[in-house]
Structure 1
């Protein structure tokens, strides 16, 4: 296990350097590494590159790659956690309407209120929308006493439909000239990444990730069912609600800065479990690393597939995720 973690970490680092290197303007990996070292340790490397390349590496591509890694790790962690507490292999971060809530918050800002708080306005409203959606799901589930796994999923789906409808109404009533901006954001992308924004999703990943990893044994118990988990001393319903709130925080922080990126939380935990089994002490950390690698690779493809256009990353993840599950269903049919 430690060797696997170390190997994936090294692979993520190498892929990140490659991702910074490619694009409309190609930059050699040694130049990329020199630029990063020069900013981290000023004067440590003799400067032989232009100011334009320095700006491309440090101000444009490196924040984008780092945001991609953070978002990928966050969504994969949430997907793995939700698949345990709901005992539903198709659960992902968008299951409970979290992404719909975030999209609704962004629509309100982009089409109606404007950026009255500056660049932080969209992420802040998206994050608030995600939290509101989760609060609605948890509140309605408690009110209707639908706290078991299957009914919570149905509650989340219902809330997602309602919020999506409200978002569509917001687009319909908004300025048509700004609608393309909303649509691009809803398709997902990392093109607006900035250094000033990175601490927010990173802090959410660290704080929520520590909680999820610390409860790996509880996730193992939840996969056995509520009755078994309760027999082992775990209050299943309370733990599930807490995990939903943690997942909302983590997903909201990720979606707020990247838009809606689908299939990551659905696909990555499946791949990890196929490789290492169902023990969540392995599944959670490996899902985070594989999710980070996947999003960085997907974003690299999105930048080079139709140069100089920047294809929304949600299109790439959707295509890969859809093909993956077609193959997965075929594989299970053969096993059956």
Structure 2
């Protein structure tokens, strides 16, 4: 790639990242101030600055404003940011390692494995980790299932992308069979909890959940940043990448483990939130190009923006009710995915 092309892409990436960051900050302020206790964005910002030791803005005028912000709204918005960033980056990683812009995290079994873990904890009534039991079970389920997919897909010391995808499909089918069985044997209360978890929601967001997700998300994001340059080389093909010094198998294992961390942490407290990891990286790639350093950064910001916005809509669209977050992202992501399929087919002149 020519030096002037690299410079142009870097210059183009600066306003993209800055713009996404600015819009995300504004959306977080709006989301934190929206609800039964309405708080204007300037008062939300003033409250944040006040807690940072800077008295540069007005504090919430409502007597319950501070409590509403710091006990309910900010944990929820922060968790939405973390979950969205995790899903966006995970999608970009998988699309890069598979060499397919239509790949998404569910293809390697992490979401279905997390669902099996959460459903098992619900049905068995486990409480080994207190309030975090279901989340811990979901994270471990996603991690174990993802690593199982990788191990089963290996043959002769190598992992072919097609084999990995097909193994993921088979494991997903088996996992959903287990979920169906658990739903069948569960009592009505547990069955309702299983259904609610699979629909996805940030209703139970707390600072405890944020503290649990943050280190896992940070570890996954650090791993993602460490492989960005090698993913650019992998785009040339396995052979050329090996000649350029990339250990392809080690790279794939690192990416799979990073995705397991990111998605497992993301869905542990929220349930399944679909299509974010598919749609966001694809849109970012159309705008910013395929360079993974910019793509991963922008996908994280874009994923966070989508989940924060979707959660705001979920809790404000219907008065005195909350829509499932996963339902909203699927309702938007499904038609968009169909549009991507048609667009790809039309540009390639068919699938052959």
- Between 45-54 and 270-279, report the one with greater CA deviation: 45-54
Q: Deviations over 1:68-123 (max 9, x none)?
A: 11111101111111111112222111111111111111111222123342111111
Provide the residue aligned with 1:87 in structure 2: 99
Q: 2:42·2:57 contact (CA, 8 Å) conserved in 1? A: no
Judged with a 3 Å threshold, the aligned counterparts in structure 2 of structure 1 residues 316 and 144 are, in CA distance, closer, same or farther, namely farther
The residue that corresponds to 2:180 in the other structure is 168
1:215 to 205, 210, 227: 227
Which residue does the alignment assign to 1:285? 297
Distance in 1 (alpha carbons) for counterparts of 2:234 and 2:54: 50
User: 5 Å matches for 1:104-253?
Assistant: 104-142=116-154, 147-253=159-265
Give yes or no for contact 1:272–1:286 (8 Å, CA) kept in 2: yes
2:273 and 2:329 in contact (8 A); partners too: yes
What SS is found at the alignment partner of 1:258?
coil
Greater mean alpha carbon deviation, residues 94-103 or residues 40-49: 40-49
Aligned length, in residue pairs: 336
1:146, distance to aligned residue in structure 2 (A): 6.3
Does the Cα contact within 8 Å between 1:63 and 1:193 map onto a contact in 2? yes
Q: Deviations over 1:140-188 (max 9, x none)?
A: 1236766111101111111111112112211211112221121111111
Give, in whole Å, the separation in 1 of the partners of 2:72 and 2:107. 32
Structure 1 unaligned regions, length at least 5: none
Contact 2:109 2:169 (C-alpha < 8 Å) held by counterparts: yes
1:294 and 1:280 map into 2 onto residues whose CA distance is 20
Distance in structure 1 (CA, Å) of the matches to 2:264 and 2:123: 20
- TM-score, length-scaled by structure 2: 0.89
Q: CA deviation at 1:47?
A: 5.5
Distance change >3 Å, CA 296–CA 170, structure 1 → 2: same
Unaligned regions of 5+ residues in structure 2, if any?
1-12
What displacement does 1:194 show? 0.5
Distance 2:183 2:90 in 1: 28
Distance 2:111 2:101 in 1: 19
**Residue in 1 that maps onto 2:7:** none
Aligned partners of 1:103 and 1:129 also within 8 Å: yes
2:227·2:251 contact (CA, 8 Å) conserved in 1?
no
Q: Distance in 2 between matches of 1:62 and 1:217?
A: 35
